[in-house]
Amino acid sequence: MSQATYTVQGMTCGHCVSSVTEEVGQITGVSSVDVDLTTGKVTVTSDEDLDIDDVRAAVTEAGYQLAS
């Protein structure tokens, strides 16, 4: 198991959280996604380390930006 935390910019509501959770959750190997709207932190648990580009693409698909 691997766990990583990312910061997502632009989330303002529960719908934002749902969108990010759904898109990141579709990455192969992801077992859970926990989004904290207040801090913008997204903690992802997966079977192995994730490629940052896959996470960035999922966040972008949801309509937000991964902080650099």
Mean pLDDT of the chain: 97
What's the pLDDT at 62? 97
Residue 68 scores a pLDDT above 80? no
Domain boundaries in the chain? 2-66
- Cα separation, 22 vs 44, whole angstroms: 12
Give me 20's structure tokens. Answer: 């990010």
Q: Token pair of 6, please? A: 């990312």
d(CA 60, CA 42): 14
| Residue-wise pLDDT tens digits, 12-41 | 999 999 999 999 999 999 999 999 999 999
What CATH architecture applies to the domain 2-66?
2-Layer Sandwich (3.30)
- Is the alpha carbon torsion for 45, 62, 40, 57 positive or negative? positive
What does the alpha-carbon distance between residue 49 and residue 40 come to, in Å, rounded to a whole number?
A: 21
